[in-house]
Amino acid sequence: MTIVNERRSYHLFFILAVFLLVGWMSLLPPDSVHAAGGDITISGEGLNNPEGVIITQEQLRGEEPLDDSYYLEQQDVVYSTINTWPTKS
């Protein structure tokens, strides 16, 4: 009888480990979630440059200058998800 219980506990442990592994793998994000790299091209009427402006990811992060010495400013903005508009200001 103890051999049967040992086999059942081994099989139960194996099944639970497989479920845990499958559940953990399902939590991994797909590749499409990761931000796509590349540059941003701004063009059209109203620009002084008819060819358009190309801005790289490094320039958007403020790591490289946009023009000769102009860096884009980075800001941390905190938003609240609690809506208390009518009762609190």
9-39 pLDDT, tens digit each: 888 899 999 999 998 888 877 766 666 678 8
Q: Is residue 87 part of a domain?
A: no
Find the domain containing 46 and state its range: 37-68
pLDDT recorded at residue 19:
92
**Does residue 63 sit within a domain?**
yes
Alpha helical stretches, state H, the chain: 2-26, 57-61
pLDDT for 67 = 82
Please give the tally of structural domains in the chain: 1
Q: Can you give the pLDDT at residue 15? A: 92
The pTM of this model reads: 0.44
Confidence check: pLDDT of 46 > 60: yes
Distance between CA atoms of 15 and 20, rounded to whole angstroms? 9
**Which residue type occupies 15?**
I
Amino acid 21: pLDDT: 92
What is the residue type of 13?
A: F
Does any domain span residue 29? Answer: no
Backbone angles phi, psi at 42, to 5 degrees: -110, 125
Is 51 part of a structural domain of the chain?
A: yes
The answer as to whether 85 is a domain residue is no
The answer to whether residues 74 and 58 touch, using CB atoms and an 8 Å cutoff, is no
